Amino acid sequence: MIFSEDIIIGIPNKLPEAKALDSNIDHAPIRPIKLSLNEKKLAIENALRYFPKEWHRELAREFSEELEKYGHIYMYRFRPDYEMYARPIEEYPTKSVSAAAIMHMIQNNLDPEVAQYPHELVTYGGNGTVFQNWIQYRLTMFYLSKMTDEQTLVMYSGHPMGLFPSHKNSPRVVVTNGMVIPNYSSQLDYEKMNAMGVSQFGQMTAGSYMYIGPQGIVHGTAITIMNAARKYLNMNEEKNLGGILFVTSGLGGMSGAQAKAAVITGAICVIAECNPFAAKKRHQQGWLNEIYHNLDELSERISDAKNKREAVSLGYVGNIVDLLEYFISKGITPDLGSDQTSLHNPWLGGYMPVGMTYEHGLELLSSDPEKFKIEVKKSLKRHAKAVNTLSNNGMFFWDYGNAFLLEASRAGAKVIENDTFLFPSYVEDIMGPMCFDYGFGPFRWVCLSGKKSDLEITDKIALEVLEKLSKNCPEEIKLQYMDNIKWISEAEKHDLVVGSKARILYADEIGRLQIALEFNKAIRTGELSGPIVLGRDHHDVSGTDSPYRETANIKDGSMFTADMAVHNFVGDSFRGATWVSLHNGGGVGWGEVINGGFGMIIDGSERAKANIESMISWDVNNGIARRSWARNAGAKFAIKKAMERNNKLEITISNLVDENILDFLI
């Protein structure tokens, strides 16, 4: 059956043949199953409610096996046979262009080229899913194929509840993922609810259909390294990172982006990776320039690169602790340092202890998990000691949101003084005050025609807009403009597009607005051959309340509140978003963050223009206003500028209190 016919059927009329697991593709790790007998029955009953009674006997056994074997009912049998990728928008059977755009984005998030474990519907981050099972995918595509612009599809954690009457300018889809009662938001609650098929972890952009492949993470990492150099090494516009030595670890999923990103910034990047396969993969892919097994050879290559001020990424196959201790013994002090081992998951292999090979570490983990835990703690103490020594010698270190400082402190390492960590987190010191407070965040777009030529035109338009705006922009944000001008002029050369024809750049409110309006004009005049989806990562100025990441530089005590994320979600919905999403979890984990985002289709119309003007400004300014109210200087500056541009915007401004006023309180 051809693709378009399959889509409009939804749940098949005939029970498809059972499918064996495809061994040519990477599969998700088995999930720990923590269900009682009654809960298992409920999980199977929940899965069967999608199907006619006559299939129940056969499917009940199959689903029970899936639950026992994989810890989750994926309904592999219902995975479609057609190829999964973002097709040009006109190939989707639909009554609504917006619905077709959403189908394009969903398929991109499940494309094997893009997704981490496509057959388990996981896009990235190990467990960030688009749907909980294949029948939810089928049913959602079915609804999207038949919906009109006077209906809204309601999504509960991957489950399409159905189409509800609405109106033309309301969102076509409203998505919630993992929204639970706060007291039931533990890891165990998640594992149970997910196994029972009633909730899912949508990460930030998987369950909101806005993931665009590795480009986003490379750009974000490049921005972080550049701004770290500015903050800690007094870099300015004239100087670049030539000759700067950055040491870090991890060549895995996200961490692998460090190699590519550092070279884009002009730095010398040395990355320790204990898994030889991960290092080899990044090398073969072209993201890591060279691999070393011998520390003396590596050290010679570093001096050579320093002398030549060469932009290069050098992988060390071994443990980060060995690398840092070697640097200390040889008197090598990197300028910048960080760590991207998976310490959000320290006891299940996210961090490999020093003193053993990767294989030995894995063996110990399965034969004696308690001993493994002790080794991880010992290693973390040595690791932190080496970081402290290098930092005393002059290296600037930051925590990359991977819980390095948290786990090192729990292991008993000396990383806390006066109740605060000795080193900042990347959002606290870099992304927050230098980007988010001014409204800069990961704005992105997707050309729905699927044509490379359209993407090239949008790059050109975005470049022109940024160049124009940079001429008169305030000094405070000049460098951010310059970085993004450089990025967008070289974006095609970096060849990071995988899946849909998408682009990302960091832009502020006015930048996002102007770029979007120019795109809309180009669609209207026919310069662009099809509509465009606008969106953003949830890891942004607005949309995400996450006390140890996105809102880590909010210091008025409101870092544990989530009003901002909810307001973004609701506010976007009545200002013209095509779809909106609100998630529990994402990046730092279930229960640790609430994040919201949107997708907006623009088609060249006057209505699209009005939607851009209304929604984009709100979506950015909501976050700036919150940061400004928390007394963040950059945000106070940015919100005042926004008010000067728009006389309908009136924000409550915080007053600063002189320190001595409170001296009477001892």
For tokens 């520390």, the residue is: 295
Q: Does 298 bind ligand NAD (CB under 6 A)?
A: no
402 touching ligand NAD, by CB under 6 A: yes
Q: What letter would DSSP give residue 411?
A: T
When asked if residue 400 is in the footprint of ligand NAD (CB under 6 A), the reply is yes
Only segment of 179-187, 338-346, 451-459, 507-515 that touches ligand NAD (CB under 6 A): 338-346
As measured in angstroms, the least distance from the Cβ of 500 to ligand NAD is: 21
Site for ligand NAD contains 205 (CB under 6 A): no
Residue from 122, 215, 125, 127 nearest 496 by CA: 215
Closest CB 324 distance from ligand NAD, rounded Å: 10
Asked if residue 173 binds ligand NAD (CB under 6 A), the reply is no
* Residue 206 found at the interface with ligand NAD (CB under 6 A): no
Other CB atoms within 10 A of residue 522 CB: 19
Choosing from 96, 123, 136, 275, the residue that interacts with ligand NAD (CB under 6 A) is: 275
Give the residue among 435, 539, 451 at the shortest CA–CA distance from 502.
451
| 123 interacts with ligand NAD by CB under 6 A | no
> Which range, of 47-55, 69-77, 395-403, 617-625, touches ligand NAD by CB under 6 A?
395-403
Look-up: residue for tokens 């990025």? 487
Q: Is 284 exposed, middle or buried (0-12, 13-18, 19+ CB in 10 A)?
A: exposed
341 binding ligand NAD? (CB under 6 A): yes
- Helix, strand, or coil (residue 250): coil
Check: CB of residue 592 under 8 Å from CB of residue 548.
yes
Report in angstroms how near the CB of residue 87 gets to ligand NAD at its nearest. Answer: 29
What is the identity of the amino acid at 143?
Answer: Y
Q: Interface residues for ligand NAD in 554-613 (CB under 6 A)?
A: 587
Query: Which residue's CB is nearer to ligand NAD, number 63 or number 351?
Result: 351
Residue 446 makes contact with ligand NAD by CB under 6 A: no
If one asks whether residue 249 binds ligand NAD (CB under 6 A), the answer comes out as yes
Reported as half-sphere exposure (CB side, CA atoms, 13 A), residue 405 has a value of 19
Which CB, 450 or 586, lies closer to ligand NAD?
586
d(CA 287, CA 571): 39
**DSSP E strands, 230-294:** 245-249, 268-273, 290-292
Residues 352-371 binding ligand NAD (CB under 6 A) are: 352
**Residue 538 beta carbon to ligand NAD: minimum distance, rounded to whole angstroms:** 12
Question: Does 312 participate in binding ligand NAD (rule CB under 6 A)?
Answer: no
Contact call for residue 248 and ligand NAD (CB under 6 A):
no
Eight-state DSSP code of residue 288: S
Query: Which of 75, 254, 317, 516 is close enough to bind ligand NAD by CB under 6 A?
Result: 254
Least CB distance to ligand NAD at residue 29 (A): 11
Whether 338 contacts 292, CB under 8 Å: no
Nearest to 616 by CA among 630, 598, 634: 598
Q: Residue 156 has which token pair?
A: 């509960």
Q: Does 499 bind ligand NAD (CB under 6 A)?
A: no
- How near is the Cβ of 546 to ligand NAD at its closest, in Å? 10
Q: Rounded distance, CA 247 to CA 249, Å?
A: 7
* C-alpha–C-alpha distance, residues 662 and 141, integer Å: 60
Measured distance CA(124)–CA(106) in Å, rounded: 14
Tokens 């928390």 belong to 630
Stretch that binds ligand NAD, among 178-186, 238-246, 252-260, 384-392 (CB under 6 A): 252-260
Q: Give the interface with ligand NAD as residue ranges (CB under 6 A).
A: 217, 220-221, 249-255, 257, 272-275, 278, 319-320, 340-344, 350-352, 400-402, 587
